[in-house]
């Protein structure tokens, strides 16, 4: 097993990603409480995230083939825009905790669909990670 597939590295990545998502939701609630227009706030959040990822990809030399990926990225962006907008608009009314729960459903649904389509093999560790 290579170092980047070790359980410790994978757990670190999951914890870091989860903490970042949690902070994003909390910051969104603070912005909402401060009266920020949430659709514009979401636009700047996503644009900023995209810019950081573009710089990181360039730094790691991973920009080759980016034009081939653009149609898929555009499709995924269109599918993501609606739910993200609804979540950012709802955070002021239902609270950050409820919105945080909605982040768990896509993970479960994606894993289930991948298993049904045969894209993911049966792995008890992954099932445990999704169920937890």
Segments in the chain below pLDDT 70: 1-5, 130-132
125 is a domain residue = no
Return the pLDDT at 3. 60
Residue-level pLDDT at 132: 64
User: Does a structural domain hold residue 46?
Assistant: yes
Residue 68 lies in a domain: yes
Distances (CA, A) of 11 to 25, 28, 83, 108: 21, 26, 27, 18
Q: How confident is the model at residue 105, as a pLDDT?
A: 77
| pLDDT given at position 1 | 47
SS (H, E, C) 9-65: HHHHHHHHHHHHHHHHHHHHHHHHHCCCCHHHHHHHHHHHHHHHHHHHHHHCCCCCC
pLDDT score at 42: 87
Structural domain includes residue 119: no
Predicted confidence at residue 58, as pLDDT, reads: 92
**What per-residue confidence (pLDDT) applies to 48?**
92
- Residue ranges making up the domain that contains 54: 3-94
- Give domain status of residue 36, yes or no: yes
CA 60 to chain centre: 21
Q: Is residue 48 part of a domain?
A: yes
Whether the CA torsion 46, 85, 74, 120 is positive or negative: it is: positive
Q: What is the tally of structural domains in the chain?
A: 1
In a domain, 9, yes or no: yes
Q: What are phi and psi of 76, to 5 degrees?
A: -65, -40
Asked if 130 contacts 107 with a C-beta cutoff of 8 angstroms, the reply is yes
> Is 111 part of a structural domain of the chain?
no
Characterise 29 by phi-psi region: left (phi > 0), alpha (psi -120 to 50), beta (else): alpha
């Amino acid at each position: 097993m290579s170092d980047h597939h070790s359980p410790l590295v994978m757990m670190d990545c999951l914890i870091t990603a989860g903490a970042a998502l949690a902070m994003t939701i909390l910051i969104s609630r603070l912005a909402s409480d401060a009266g920020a227009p949430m659709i514009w706030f979401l636009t700047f959040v996503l644009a900023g995230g995209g810019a950081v990822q573009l710089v990181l990809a360039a730094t790691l030399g991973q920009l080759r083939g980016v034009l081939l990926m653009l149609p898929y990225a555009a499709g995924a962006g269109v599918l993501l825009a609606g739910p993200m907008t609804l979540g950012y608009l709802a955070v002021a009314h239902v609270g950050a905790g409820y919105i945080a729960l909605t982040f768990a459903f896509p993970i479960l649904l994606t894993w289930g669909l991948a298993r049904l389509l045969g894209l993911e093999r049966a792995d008890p560790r992954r099932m445990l990670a999704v169920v937890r």
